[in-house]
Amino acid sequence: MTAPVVETKGLVKSFGDVTACAGIDLTVARGEIVALLGPSGSGKSTLLRHLNGLTRPDAGQVRVLGADVATVKGAELRALRRRVGVVFQQFNLVGRLTVMENVLHGALGRVRGPRYGIVTWPRSVRAEAFEHLDRVGLADRAYQRAGSLSGGQQQRVAIARALLQRPELMLADEPVASLDPETAASVMDLLVRVCREDGLTMVCTLHQIELALEWTRRVVGLRLGEIRLDEPTELLDAVRLRGLYLSDPVTV
Ligand code: ADP
Ligand code: MG
């Protein structure tokens, strides 16, 4: 059996009086597509941020792709971050640069490239970037300013950028929360599809039950920093998941 991509044990993280993660045990195997579902403030983003070393635990263990997130630093931390693609709610593109330049930023960790301009990037990297743009359906927008695209298109560019990292683990923090329902569905479809095609492991925070049910294979339900349920999506329904959003513990 191969080692899990993510393994946390007793992960605790507090901010002052607030305990964002109250002892999280989570194991994610290679290739899994997992939703972290829960109401606002339940600790989803904090848990996710541990998985690329943006946050360190106060207590407990966090192992991601073999690295110990509690202690990893320097070159080893940079290497870990290169292996983890990240997609954010607000896309985080550089709006005044072209779509292509934004995608190329995904290669900065592994190729010595210029931060701006595309001409001096190796031809092979430009070709790879263009391939990913084509996969996300935006090949015809390569030379437009990223800031001129719609929200859904910008998130597609962010996905192409993350793919150019050639990541093993993809993290998405509320990737469709800023989009209208129809666009949200098409972006979730794309994200899950490219992760499957490339054999990536994906962990995605969501706060909408319907999105988790439709697009992911396993739902980890959080409330008040604790895991309240962890099950294959096919065994779940909206009625049970709504329990996460109520004050009583979920009865399973
Ligand atoms: P979610 O993503 O589920 O909405 P978060 O992980 O963002 O939840 O937050 C969990 C709790 O931790 C919340 O009460 C939030 O206010 C608090 N929190 C998260 N990050 C910080 C921070 N950097 N400083 C202070 N409090 C924080
Ligand atoms: Mg959040």
Query: Which residue type, as a one-letter code, is found at position 194?
Result: V
Ligand 1 atom nearest 46 alpha carbon:
6
Burial of 44 (0-12, 13-18, 19+ CB in 10 A): buried
Question: What sign does the dihedral 134-49-20-5 (CA atoms) show?
Answer: positive
Asked whether residue 76 is domain-assigned, the answer is yes
Q: Ligand 2 centre and the CA of 44: distance in Å?
A: 5
Ligand 1 atom nearest 49 alpha carbon:
6
pTM: 0.94
User: Which ligand is located closest to the Cα atom of residue 42?
Assistant: 1
Question: Which of 13, 17, 18 to mutate for ligand 1's pocket (most ligand atoms within 8 Å of CB)?
Answer: 18
Asked whether residue 155 is domain-assigned, the answer is no
Number of neighbouring beta carbons within 10 Å of residue 18? 12
Q: Supply the CATH number for residue 178's domain.
A: 3.40.50.300
Task: Residue 210: give the domain boundaries.
Answer: 6-93+169-245
pLDDT (tens digit per residue) in 173-208: 999 999 999 999 999 999 999 999 999 999 999 999
Q: What is the ipTM of this complex?
A: 0.98
Ligand 1 atom nearest 225 alpha carbon:
10
Alpha helices in 29-180 (DSSP H): 44-50, 74-82, 99-104, 123-135, 151-164
93 or 244, greater pLDDT: 93
Question: Which of 37, 42, 46, 223 to mutate for ligand 1's pocket (most ligand atoms within 8 Å of CB)?
Answer: 46
Asked whether residue 46 is domain-assigned, the answer is yes
40 lines ligand 1 (CB under 6 A): yes
Pairing of strands 6-15, 59-64: antiparallel
Tell me phi and psi for residue 58, to 5 degrees. Answer: -75, -35
Asked whether residue 72 is domain-assigned, the answer is yes
User: Which ligand is located closest to the Cα atom of residue 173?
Assistant: 2
Residues surrounding ion ligand 2 at CB below 5 Å: 44-45
In residues, how long is the chain?
A: 252
Asked whether residue 208 is domain-assigned, the answer is yes
Asked whether residue 209 is domain-assigned, the answer is yes
Residue 118: pLDDT band with limits 50, 70, 90: low
Per-residue pLDDT, 250: 47
Instruction: Tokens 């191969």: give the residue.
Output: 2
Pairing of strands 6-15, 169-173: unpaired
Q: Ligand 2 centre and the CA of 1: distance in Å?
A: 32
Three-state SS at 141: helix
pLDDT (tens digit per residue) in 68-111: 999 999 999 999 999 999 999 999 999 999 999 999 999 988 87
Structural domain total, the chain = 1
